[in-house]
Structure 1
Amino acid sequence: MAEEAETEKAVSDVEIAFHELSFIPEGDEVVVGRVDAESYAVLPADGAALLREMTRGMPPDRAAQWYQSTYGEQVDIDEFLETLHELGFVRSDGVTEHERPEPPRRVPLRRLGHAAFSPLAWAAYAAVFAGWLVAAVHHDDLLPRPGHIFFAESLLVVQFGIIFGQLPLVFLHEGFHVLAGRRLGLRSRLSVSNRYLYIVFETQMNGLLGVERRKRYLPFLSGMACDVVVFSALGLVANHTRTADGAFSPVGRIALALAFTVLMRFAWQFQLYLRTDLYYVFATALNCHDLHNASTALLRNRVWRLLGRPHRVVDEEQWTEYDRKVGRWYGPFISLGVVVMLLITVLGSLPVTVQYVETAVRSMRGGAGDASFWDGLLAMVILVNWFVLPAYLARRKRRRARSPLPPVTAEPATTKGVN
C-alpha cells in the first residue's frame, strides 16, 4: 500500500504532456479544443484556467493546490485528468510541446483565400450585384421565375442540363467555404459524396471552433455570398447575350435556368431547422454550442409534458445552461423554417412540377411514333423516380435501424462464389 501511495504521489508530481490546445473565451465559458483532432470541450473559466496552468508545465498536485488557493475551492484532479484523457487532450507519447515543438505546417490555398475575400474582391462582387440590379430594373424578364427552368423544348435536355449544370455551381459554393477557412489558416477541405442518387459536395471546417467567434461568420456566410455573385453573373450573361430582337439566346436561357436553381438554394438556407449555413450564423451570434439539439429537445419535452407523458422527457442537463436558456425561445422560432419550406414549395417547386407534368403530357399526345412521346415518357419516369426512390430508400433504412441484429452463431464461415 505504501508503494502504491508513493507511485501515485510520484505520478501527480510529474508534468502532463498535452497536445496543442486552443482557448477561446465565450462569455463566462471557454471553448478548449484540440484542433488537429477536432475535439472540443466547453469549460467554465476556472476549469480552463486550471487546464492552462497544466499545459504550461504545472504538475497535477500543484495545479490542484493552485486552484484551491486561487478560487477557494477543491477540485477532483483525478476526475479532471480522466476527462482530459477521454477528450484526447493528453499526449500518449508523454512528450510535451516545448520539448518537441512542431513547426507550423503550410496551409495550401491560403493566399487564394485572402485574395478571394480581399477588399478588391468584395468591390468586384458588389459591382456584379449592382450591375444585375440595374439590368433587372430595365428588363423585368431577368427577374427569376419558375418558367426559366425550361430552357429547351426537350424535358430530358432540361433535366440533365440542370443536373450537370448545377454541379460546378454547388462546387463553387462549397469552395468558397473552403477558401474562407483556408484564409484563417484552417485545413478546411471539400469532399464529394452522394445522398441516394444525388451527388453532393461537403465542406469540413476543421478547427473553426478554435478561432475567435467574430472570425467564424465569414466561413459560414461565404457560400451564400458566392450564390449572390453567381446568380447576378448568370443574369448579366443572359442580358448581354440577347438576340437582335431582344429575346434570350440559348446561352441566356441556360443561364437563367441555372440562376433560378441558385436562388432556390439560397432560399433553402433559411430553413434553420435543417442546420443550414444561416443556422450556424445564428448559433454563433447567440454564443451557443449545440443550439439545435438543445432547442428541439426542450420543445419536445414541453410537448410531452403537456400530453402527460413525462417518461418521454429527456435529460436537459446534457446541454449547457446557456444553450438551454436560449433554446427555450429559439425552439418555436426554428419552426418558422417550415414556413420557408412551404414558400419554396408554393413559389418554386410546385409551379415547376406542374409545368413539367403539363409539358410531358402534351409531348406524349403525339403517340409512340413521335420522338417527343418518348421524351415526355422518360421525363415522367425520372420525375416519379425522384419522389419514389428516395422515399423507398429512407423507409428501408428506418426498417433496418429498427430490426434486431441476427443472433451470433458458432458455425464456421463459408466463402461463396459470385457469378
Structure 2
Amino acid sequence: MTVAFHRLAFRQDGDEWIVGRVDSGDFVAVPEEGVLAIRLLQDGLDVEQVRARLLHETGADLDVADFVGDLAEAGLVAGIGGRPVPSPPPLRPTLPRLRPRHLRWALHPALHLALLVPIGAGAGCLALRPEIFPGWRAAFFTGHGAAVLLTWAAIAWLTTGLHELAHLVTARAAGVPARITLGTRLQFLVAQTDVSGVWPAPRRVRVTVYLSGIAVDLALCGAALTWTFFAGPGPVATWLTLVLTLRLAAQLLVFTRTDLYFLLQDATGCRDLYGDGAAYVRDLLSFRRRTRLATLPPRERRAVRLYAAVQGAGTLACLAFAALVTLPLVVTLLARSIQSLLHAADPAAVAEAIVVLALVLVPDVLWARAWWGRHGPRVRRWTALARAALPRLARPFRSVRR
C-alpha cells in the first residue's frame, strides 16, 4: 500500500521534527523515525517495506500503518493506495497576486534597520520632552461625541489595516499564503492574519513575521511623537499616538494570543502554549489527578504552568472588565442614542445619534458573526446533545395513564 502526501515542509525542532503543509497551515511534531518513514514513503516504498527498512536501519519497530493514519487525520496525506484522502483545502490567501518574489525586500535586514530610525527618533524626543505625549483628554477635540468616536474608529481601522498588512507582506515574502480575517479574543473584535504556514521557516523569519505589525505601530508612533516635538501638537499626530499606544499596550495581553504571545510561544519552544494552558486550567478546575502537563515534554511543563496562571487570571480580569465597565458603557450609549432619535428635534442631534448607534452596534454585530463562525458548530453539537437528553430526563416525571 503506497501513500501520497501533499507538499510537505520540514524543520528540526530539538529531538523532534515539525512536518506539515505550508498551504493549509496544518503541522505535526514527529520523531526522527517518523521523518525517515515519510521520506521513504515519498520515495515510493509501501507501508510494509518502510516498516522493514526502519527496523533494519534504526532498530525501531514503527507501526507505519497507524502512523500514516495519524498523518491522514492531520490533513497531510493526499492519497492511500491510489485513493484520495479527504484533507483540508489550501488556505485562500488575501491579495493572492502578491507573490514572494515581489516582497523579498520585506525580510531584508536593511528594512528592519530603517524602521528603527523613526522608532529611535520618537523615543529620543519623548525622553527629552515627556510633555509631548498627549493626555487622553486631547482626544476630545469637540463636544460632539459622534465626531470623537468616528475619528477614533477611522484611525483605529486604518492603522489596524497597516498592522495586518505588515504581517501579510512578511509572511508572503516567506512563501506563506497568509489570510486576513476578523476574529474574536474574549470580548474583543480583532483583525487577524493567519500565518500558520510560517512554522517550518527559520527562526529569524518567524520572529520577523510575528513582530512586523508591532514594528509598524512603533514606527508610526515614533513618527507622530517626532512631529509633535518639532511642529507642535496636531490632531493627526495626537490621535495616532493615542490609538497606537493603546494597541501596543493590548499586545501585553498574551493570554488572548496577541503577536507577543506567538513570540513567547516560539521563545519557550512550546507547540501550543494557549491550548495546553487552557487544558491545564480545565484539568485543575475538574480536580483531575492526571493533568495535561503529564503528556508534555519536560521542557514545556514549566512554561505551560506559568502561562496557565497568567491565562486564567487575565481571562477573569477581562471578563470582569467587560461586565462591569464595557457593558454598562455600551448600554448607556445605546440608551442615550435611542432617546435622542425618539425625542430630538435637531437634525444634527439625530445624525449624531445615528452615528453613535452605528459605531456601537456594527462592531458588536461583526463580533457576534466572527464568534459564531468559530464556535457555532460546537454550540450546535451541544444543543443537539441537550435536545437528545431532554426526553430521557423528563421520562421519570411523566404521568402514568391508567
TM-score, structure 2 normalization:
0.72
Moved more, 38-47 or 134-143: 134-143
Indicate if the aligned counterparts of 2:22 and 2:177 stay in contact, CA closer than 8 A: no
- Structure 1 residue aligned with 2:18, among 14, 27, 31? 31
Matches of 1:138 and 1:325 in 2, distance apart? 41
Alpha-carbon displacement from aligned partner over 1:376-399 (angstroms, at most 9, x marks no partner): 867876787699989999899898
Partner of residue 412, structure 1: none
CA drift of 1:110 comes to 3.0
Q: CA, structure 1 residues 237+297, in 2 after alignment: closer, same or farther (shift >3 Å)?
A: same
Consecutive unaligned residues of structure 1, counting only runs of 5 or more, are: 1-10, 96-105, 243-247, 408-419
Moved more, 232-241 or 390-399: 390-399
- Structure 2 residue aligned with 1:331, among 292, 304, 308? 308
Partner of residue 289, structure 1: 271
Matches of 1:39 and 1:387 in 2, distance apart? 30
Q: CA, structure 1 residues 148+124, in 2 after alignment: closer, same or farther (shift >3 Å)?
A: farther
Indicate if the aligned counterparts of 2:189 and 2:366 stay in contact, CA closer than 8 A: no
Matches of 2:188 and 2:303 in 1, distance apart? 35
Q: CA, structure 1 residues 336+192, in 2 after alignment: closer, same or farther (shift >3 Å)?
A: closer
- Structure 1 residue aligned with 2:142, among 152, 172, 179? 152
Partner of residue 233, structure 1: 223
SS in 2 for 1:47: helix
1:169 maps to amino acid: T
Indicate if the aligned counterparts of 2:273 and 2:304 stay in contact, CA closer than 8 A: yes
Alpha-carbon displacement from aligned partner over 1:336-381 (angstroms, at most 9, x marks no partner): 6469969x99xxx99xx8xx99xx9xxx9xx967788668867876
Partner of residue 394, structure 2: none
The 5-angstrom pairing of residues 6-405 of structure 1 reads 11=1, 15-92=2-79, 108-111=98-101, 113-191=103-181, 201-242=191-232, 248=233, 252-305=234-287, 310=288, 323-324=300-301, 326-335=303-312, 337=314, 403-404=383-384
SS in 1 for 2:23: helix
SS in 1 for 2:61: coil
SS in 1 for 2:237: helix
CA drift of 1:86 comes to 2.9
1:300 maps to amino acid: R
Consecutive unaligned residues of structure 2, counting only runs of 5 or more, are: 83-95, 389-402
Q: CA, structure 1 residues 325+130, in 2 after alignment: closer, same or farther (shift >3 Å)?
A: closer
Q: CA, structure 1 residues 337+227, in 2 after alignment: closer, same or farther (shift >3 Å)?
A: farther
| Count of residues paired in the alignment | 357
Matches of 1:62 and 1:404 in 2, distance apart? 45
2:15 maps to amino acid: D
Alpha-carbon displacement from aligned partner over 1:289-313 (angstroms, at most 9, x marks no partner): 11112122223323432xxxx49x8
CA drift of 1:192 comes to 6.0
Indicate if the aligned counterparts of 1:24 and 1:210 stay in contact, CA closer than 8 A: yes
SS in 2 for 1:151: coil
Indicate if the aligned counterparts of 2:220 and 2:240 stay in contact, CA closer than 8 A: no
Alpha-carbon displacement from aligned partner over 1:50-81 (angstroms, at most 9, x marks no partner): 22222233332222112112332322222223
SS in 1 for 2:45: coil
CA drift of 1:265 comes to 1.0
Matches of 1:279 and 1:323 in 2, distance apart? 15
Matches of 1:44 and 1:52 in 2, distance apart? 13
CA RMSD of aligned residues (A): 4.4
Which is higher, the Rg of structure 1 or of structure 2?
Answer: 1
Indicate if the aligned counterparts of 1:107 and 1:186 stay in contact, CA closer than 8 A: no
Q: CA, structure 1 residues 199+339, in 2 after alignment: closer, same or farther (shift >3 Å)?
A: closer
1:201 maps to amino acid: A
SS in 2 for 1:216: helix
SS in 2 for 1:57: coil
CA drift of 1:273 comes to 1.0
Matches of 1:196 and 1:329 in 2, distance apart? 20
1:178 maps to amino acid: L
SS in 2 for 1:74: coil
Q: CA, structure 1 residues 254+279, in 2 after alignment: closer, same or farther (shift >3 Å)?
A: same
Alpha-carbon displacement from aligned partner over 1:189-235 (angstroms, at most 9, x marks no partner): 33467999998533121521222344311111111111101111223
Matches of 2:139 and 2:271 in 1, distance apart? 39
1:221 maps to amino acid: L
1:162 maps to amino acid: W
CA drift of 1:169 comes to 0.8
Q: CA, structure 1 residues 179+386, in 2 after alignment: closer, same or farther (shift >3 Å)?
A: closer
Identity of paired residues, percent?
23
Indicate if the aligned counterparts of 1:295 and 1:324 stay in contact, CA closer than 8 A: no
Q: CA, structure 1 residues 387+43, in 2 after alignment: closer, same or farther (shift >3 Å)?
A: closer
CA drift of 1:325 comes to 5.3
Indicate if the aligned counterparts of 2:184 and 2:190 stay in contact, CA closer than 8 A: yes
